[in-house]
Amino acid sequence: MFSPKSTRRVSAPVLVLAVIALALGSFAAALDVGGALDRAKRTAQQAKDAAESAARVGAAIAVPSGAATYLRQIDQKLEKMDRMMGEDAARYDKDYRVKESEALLKGARDDLATIENRYGAKMGKDHPELVSRRDRIAAAEKKLETFKGTMGAAIQKEKDAREARSKEEEAAYAAQKERQAREAAEREAEAMRPQAEPAAAGKVLFSRSPIDPAKPANLTASFKAGDTIYGLIQADKTWRELYNAQGKSEVGIMIVMAIGKNETYQYITLKNAKYIDTNQLVLDIAPAPDKMTAYKDPEIVFGEGKGNRKIGPIAFTYELAQLPAGKHTVQFYVRDFGKRHAAGQLEIEGADFKFYADLHEKVKALADASAIMPPVGMVNKALEAEMLALLKNAGWPPVLRLVIRDKDWWLNRVAGGNSPVSSRHINAAVAAKGPDGKCYYRMVVFEQPMTLAGWGKLEITRQGDPKPIAEENIYK
């Protein structure tokens, strides 16, 4: 009935029970030739099963303490793996759940292998505790494969959704840029379109010598090629009143120079109350370099127009230099949409206007020599460091100075108004020295896209033309 191997595992009481069962079977066989024999066989089989069960119980009890520790660890890891794959762990990242479950299953396998290597000879490879753990691990492997398939599909779905949203955001951003460019072009076209404007309430005066705003003298509207030209704008009200600028710290005034259909225009921005609260503005047109006042006061900012030329004597002398021989009428006026707050015109005649080309270069060089960096709007060392790293990566030479020009970020919306924000940008002035040893600064736009997780990575989206600046003026 029992093999030698199995006999060694059975205790003495169990053997006694088995012998009794066999005896009873033999006795039954002697008394009953038919059904009694079958009953005896069944009884014998039951005795055998009881003996083997007792053997398994005895084996299960005889588990080394070290093996018992690893068995508990296997159970704990498999239970934790079940929880990680269950609904209670749905708050965690899907990829994390898969990787954590794989790690727990591997840990359970490793623990089982340790038991088999260290205690297998003592316990036997078919020990019930080991068999049950192998079965649990095999079931966990199948469950993990199913879980990985489910998570993989969900992860791919989320990835597809993110990519779709990213494409939508990119398309919306491109559409916004296109709309902004179109609107800017429409505004420019509107500004250049001839309009039936009412007569200006104010006037523009001219002279061959600098004009004293308190006592304008030596005025004329007739000039010869080669004359220096100075102007003075006089409005009928203060600039604060004309532009409804109560409480504002700056006012932009659009100055237009018109020769026939050719118009040169841009804003001159007043950044001090002493200028905003007057009704006059000195306008150098073609001044002698040593008498030029434009570009020297940082609280009067001259915007750049066509060809990146600053409005004022740089732009005006350039346009005068383009005139052919003959007599020309040149208009100057302050435009405020459909209004002209001040206007005046002069006539200039000559066979050669090259004088103004030479004067243009002198005025430009003088303006460059006196140029300083734009004023600081914000100080943020961490943001400046990030900007510098981007500039270095973009191939810039070593930056001498970086100034964040804006006081805060500008929000870019998909369709303007209260629509969702697509990105934000901020302007900085960056000074460096070129390969020729000359210093310059450029206006650089840094932008951050809006993502599902918040503001994305900072990037450079636009760089202005280099503006010459003396190295000693960079730090003023």
* pLDDT tens digit sequence for 306-331: 888 999 999 999 999 999 999 999 99
3-state secondary structure of 228: coil
Per residue in 375-427, pLDDT (tens digit) is 899 999 999 999 999 999 999 999 999 999 999 999 988 765 567 889 999 99
Phi, psi of 224 (to 5 degrees): -110, 150
User: Distance of alpha carbon 388 from its chain centroid, rounded?
Assistant: 16
CA–CA gap between residue 347 and residue 224 (Å, rounded): 8
This prediction's pTM: 0.51
Where do the domains of the chain lie? 4-61, 65-163, 202-370, 381-473
261 Cβ partners below 8 Å, 6+ apart? none
Rounded Cα–Cα distance for residues 164 and 146 (Å): 27
Percentage of the chain beyond pLDDT 90 is: 63
Q: Which of 10-19, 193-202, 259-268, 353-362 has the lowest mean pLDDT?
A: 10-19
188-211 b/e with 16+ CB inside 10 Å = b? eeeeeeeeeeeebebbbbbbeebb
Residue pLDDT, tens place only, 340-377: 999 999 999 999 999 999 999 999 999 888 888 888 99
Least Cα distance to 262 among 198, 326, 316, 210 occurs for 316
Task: Give pLDDT, residue 319.
Answer: 97
| Tokens matching residue 139 | 């079931």
Helix (H, G, I), strand (E, B) or coil at 294: coil
Predicted confidence (pLDDT) per residue in 55-114, tens digit: 454 444 479 999 999 999 999 999 999 999 998 888 888 889 999 999 999 999 999 999
